[in-house]
Amino acid sequence: MKINITDRRLTDVDPRMIGLFFEDINYGADGGLYAEMIENRSFEFFPTKVTPDVSPIDAWEAVGGAEFTAETASPINEINPGYAKIKGKKGAGCANSGYGGMYLEKGKAYDFSLYARGTAGLSVRVEGKDKSAMEFEIKPCAEWKKYEFEGICAETLYDARLFITLDGDGEADIDFVSLFPRDTFNMRKNGLRRDMAEALKNIRPGFLRFPGGCIVEGNGLLNRYRWKESVGDVEKRRCNWNRWQDGDVGVVEKNYFQSLGLGFYEYFLLCEDLSCEPLPVLNCGMGCQFQCDETADGEELDEYIRDALDLIEFANGDPDKNEWANLRREMGHKEPFGLKYLGIGNEQWGEKYFERYEKFQKVLAEKYPEIRLVTSSGPMPDGKRFDEAKAWLKGKGEDFAYLVDEHFYKSPEWMFENANRYDSYDRSGTKVFAGEYACHIGESGPKPNSLEAALAEAAVMTGFERNADVVKCAAYAPLFAREGHTQWTPDLIFVNNHEVLLTPSYHVQAMFSNNLPSYTLEIEREDDGDVFISAGFDEKSGEYILKLVNRGGKKDIVLTLPTEAEELTEITLTGNELGDINTFSEKEKVAPKSLTRKVGGREIMLTAQKYSFNVYKIR
Ligand code: AHR
């Protein structure tokens, strides 16, 4: 095969093109990125239409013969009114295993806190099967009081439980029981799991879209995501039920709720810590159209528009002039977060959406013309709903919609066929945000994060890069999945309580994002197919960057450059079979390997392994 990278400059590539899509799906937030170790810390779980048999003290169990009950009579606050009562003899109490057994590390610091009151004091212990890691004592107190402790863990434990027991006969009420590792990402309080956030950082994402996904819409408007409930004191963030209590792979997760401990403030902080742009998406006054036809009509829509206006103030406003900006300052962030983009509605379609979007847009454009709006084209990248959205957007400028969000969860065949999708796109139309995509192999049941899926995604991404004038940004979806608790597959990163598993798809994202050129260059090629390419030049490193996906057998390539070359770095992602996947027992089966060698002249001989994604950097 022959590839000639010419010196004909085509289009600039936004260094922030490759970003992240975060949603609390597959236990992405509670039990995932949010480092809180106690499940149902504030005794707020409740029955929902998906899981009618849930109790407020689920995830807890009585121990030592305790009478252990859910209460609401005199709570700490009315927003989260649930708490638990322990009655019994000394040693009676309750236990919490966190999310399937807690992981703690010897010598590390942990912050424990709870609210308690009662006639008896409490003994708190974090224990494994036959080892104790930490202990705290609480004296009896008649009124609610917050107790806070720091513990240094004495043992590394993989299956720990937290026990809270009476230290004498009597009773005690407990609420908001919390255990956090001190060592969170950037050492933030109420922070995020370091290992998971570091996996995000290593992608060097350009933006973070949050908080979803369908979670924005809710099953119906009742459990839609309300950002205002996700900020301020964590104890006063109303527990919501998670729309992903059931999902596409048929598993019902009885105890899947949103504590909102990871809320909009924490998302903005994460963006700051990752040096990426925040891209929040708000409900547009519609529930999930797959699940209901609920809409906010007439004046009801005002609240939703108000939420958008107030969010902009929360993120960017002057704390002396606005109550939401003041809340940001009170939470510890006086400086603005620098919000530039806002999504109105997730995956919505049709006239009802268009009407609502137009109402939002009119108000936002008048008050905050600097905010760039993102609109939806529905759940599919083609078909009636998609075409209607495109027709509606035709002729409308950037002020109306800066980006249109396109979603594609598609087969490898579709992905390979559509690697050229944007080559012939209308250059005058609304620019594209490929806001959710992933290669789906198989019709139903769990779908593998295989090498084949990763290659198909890489092929589509060469199309994004070649058409960076049209596709402004892109994000794989969904991001995280907790081992054994996935409602949606495939996912980019799998986790258990102590490990992170990077999929082949993750490596593709990281290889792209870490190796974006400043601008693309025209390519001439002679080949028999099976190869997907983009090429460009990086002004910072002075390197030509060629990305090449080979979905077929081994290929020898003669590469010609516009100038003489001295050094080549090849980063290769490959495996033996298209079906290869990474697992917790074989994490590096499909992982990138890098090699640097001296070269000379304008012509370079390359070999692309069968089934491989390659980044060649030449200077
Ligand atoms: O990424 C999973 C889901 O796919 C998102 O919540 C939704 O937007 C899409 O249907």
Which of 283, 488, 491, 493 is the pocket-test mutation for ligand 1 (most atoms within 8 Å of CB)? Answer: 488
φ and ψ at residue 236, rounded to 5 degrees? -105, 15
Cβ atoms within 10 Å, residue 331: 18
SS3 track for 241-259: ECHHHECCCCCECCCCEEC
| Atom from ligand 1 closest to the CA of residue 215 | 6
| Atom from ligand 1 closest to the CA of residue 290 | 10
Both structure tokens of 313:
């103030």
379 close to ligand 1 (CB < 6 Angstrom): yes
- Looking at residues 405-434, what average pLDDT do you find? 97
Predicted local distance difference test score (pLDDT) of residue 500: 98
- Looking at residues 446-462, what average pLDDT do you find? 97
Q: Which of 127, 294, 347, 452 is catalytic?
A: 347
Instruction: Show Cβ contacts of residue 426 under 8 Å, excluding neighbours closer than 6 positions.
Output: none
Predicted local distance difference test score (pLDDT) of residue 444: 80
Q: Which residue has the least CA distance to atom 6 on ligand 1?
A: 213
| Atom from ligand 1 closest to the CA of residue 478 | 1
Predicted local distance difference test score (pLDDT) of residue 243: 93
Q: For the chain, what is the mean pLDDT?
A: 97
The answer, yes or no, to whether residue 45 has pLDDT greater than 90, is: yes
Indicate the pLDDT class of residue 445, thresholds 50, 70 and 90. confident
Indicate the pLDDT class of residue 249, thresholds 50, 70 and 90. low
- Looking at residues 265-277, what average pLDDT do you find? 98
Decide the pairing of beta strands 431-439 and 471-476: parallel
Both structure tokens of 128:
């494994």
Cα–Cα nearest to 389, from 429, 437, 343, 439: 429
* Tens digits of residue pLDDT in 394-403: 999 999 999 9
Which of 20, 21, 25 is the pocket-test mutation for ligand 1 (most atoms within 8 Å of CB)? Answer: 25
Query: What whole-number distance in Å separates Cα of residue 347 and Cα of residue 445?
Result: 22
Note if 457 is an active site residue. no
Summarize the chain as % helix, strand, coil (round to 5).
20, 35, 45
Please give the radius of gyration of the chain, using alpha carbons only, rounded to the nearest integer. 26
Query: What whole-number distance in Å separates Cα of residue 143 and Cα of residue 78?
Result: 16
213 close to ligand 1 (CB < 6 Angstrom): yes
pTM of the model: 0.98
Cα–Cα nearest to 178, from 32, 337, 35: 35
- Looking at residues 227-247, what average pLDDT do you find? 95
Indicate the pLDDT class of residue 251, thresholds 50, 70 and 90. confident
User: Are 89 and 166 within 8 A, CB to CB?
Assistant: yes
- Looking at residues 408-415, what average pLDDT do you find? 97
Predicted local distance difference test score (pLDDT) of residue 247: 73
DSSP-assigned letter for residue 23: -
Strand ranges for 119-237 from DSSP E: 122-127, 132-138, 145-152, 157-166, 170-181, 207-210
